[in-house]
Chains A and B, each alone.
Chain A
């Protein structure tokens, strides 16, 4: 028996992606049936040294963002060794929630931790931290190495995980990978949204409200109610798990094909529509005040995609980083 093998490796991750993979019975049973699970530190007892001693790797699944020098080294090593490299989950594919820390420099983060952690003075001299991997510039996996499959979602829903395993089995059977394949729809969330307004071209956003300020009506478009929903700029394929429980889309499935930057697209398309009927009268009283209601700009516009935004790329290139594109 010569089964192909799979390794599942972690970067900066919360653990949700592991649960999502394990939770999908169909997917996990197909993997176990057809592929040899060689390394998965949360499920199989193994250390990094065991991973490094593997002779060949067929499939490498990378979960989480690239945060430390160790993650980066591992990602590059996996790309060299493995035939198929998978970016699994939004952190790996787009940067994800930890990516929001990308704008804060590593030294600042470390200083914050050092200045806020308190310890009893009598132990101060005793505690010595082990040598930790160095924090580096936060990046999504596709910025560090080329990937073959991208599985978006925070965490990826069961349907997407199943689809991913099907694609994986096809690749293993001999089909050639065709560049980075994203396991998600290529249309916007709004296309299939159950709350789609009757006439999309007459969509009106009266003002911007934060979630706690509004009594959100069910079965009515969030944007019409003034709640910022990232559906118009996000890929479909998640079966609207947030929208179905009366929460707006936050964009974990990443940007639609054709553009990289969710935030700029959202400003151009949706925020320009805010109070569109009252522009003239509001201009004098301060149209800006309405826009100021969006306080946490990065958290709303770039919740999952900050490390892939063009302004972040601009920042990296101005800092002279080798990762700027």
Chain B
């Protein structure tokens, strides 16, 4: 892979009620954020199955963001963000077990008015992924 022309591909799962609304607000406010991020609006961050995140990685994403409503009581569905927290936390651990940097997966709480925070999140995460490079597996001990 030619590293000079490589651009990070990032998928962001945003919940419809808070982070998705923040993305809308960022659009209306003409905030510029990194074009590497592809936002996908889902009904709730608690709906993001670990399978979907792995699917994103399998289809070429170099990083995945999951963003939902603030804890403890902003969630439109009362406790979806806690479920998201547990799933992402466990999946991060699993990723590192399989030799993939857990930093490639990020969970953040963004409320509907925090469009600036969303922009910063996207920009900083793109910077992190750019530093990490394309998705790869740490091979221990080399190959036979």
> Could you tell me which A residues sit within 8 Å of B by CB distance?
103-108, 110-111, 134-136, 259, 261, 263-265, 267-268, 271-272, 274, 276, 279-280, 283-284, 287-288, 291, 294, 297-298, 301, 310-315, 317-319
- Min CB distance B64 to A, Å, is 12
Give the distance in Å from the alpha carbon of A279 to the alpha carbon of B50 in the complex.
20
Q: Tell me which residues across on chain B come within 8 A of A279, comparing CB atoms.
A: 72, 79, 82
Q: Which B residues are in CB contact (< 8 Å) with A267?
A: 50, 86-87, 90-91, 94
Closest approach, in angstroms, between the C-beta of A315 and any C-beta of chain B? 5
Assess whether A314 is in contact with B89, with CB atoms less than 8 Å apart.
Answer: no
CB of B24 closer than 8 Å to a CB of A: no
Q: Which of A283, A297, A313 contacts B58 (CB 8 A)?
A: A313
Contact B139 A271 (CB under 8 A): no
Partner of B72, one of A103, A283, A301, A311: A283
Cβ-based interface call for B36 (8 A): no
Chain A residues in 8 Å Cβ range of B3:
none
Q: Which of B's residues lie within 8 Å of A, judged by CB? A: 46, 49-51, 54-55, 57-58, 71-73, 79, 82-83, 85-87, 89-91, 93-95, 97-100, 135-137, 139-144
Q: Is the Cβ of A310 less than 8 Å from the Cβ of B140?
A: no
Cβ B137 vs Cβ A274 within 8 A = no
Report B51 CB to chain A, min CB distance, Å.
5
In the bound complex, how far is the Cα of B31 from the Cα of A140, in angstroms? 50
B140 touches A104 (CB 8 A): yes
A319 cross-chain contacts in B, Cβ below 8 A: 137, 139
A147 to B94, CA, bound (A): 29
Contacts of A313 in B (CB 8 A): 58
Known A267-B87, A298-B97, A312-B98; contact A318-B135, beta-carbon cutoff 8 A: yes
Check A103–B87 contact: CB distance below 8 A: no
With beta carbons under 8 angstroms apart, the residue of A103, A107, A274, A294 that contacts B143 is A107
Q: Are B144 and A265 in contact (CB under 8 A)?
A: no
The CA of A264 and the CA of B85, in the complex, are separated in Å by 14
Given A268-B50, A311-B94: A105 touches B143 (CB 8 Å cut-off)? yes
Verify A276–B79 contact, CB threshold 8 A.
yes
Across-interface contacts of B51 in A (CB, < 8 A): 259, 261, 264-265, 268, 310
Contacts of A280 in B (CB 8 A): 71-73, 82
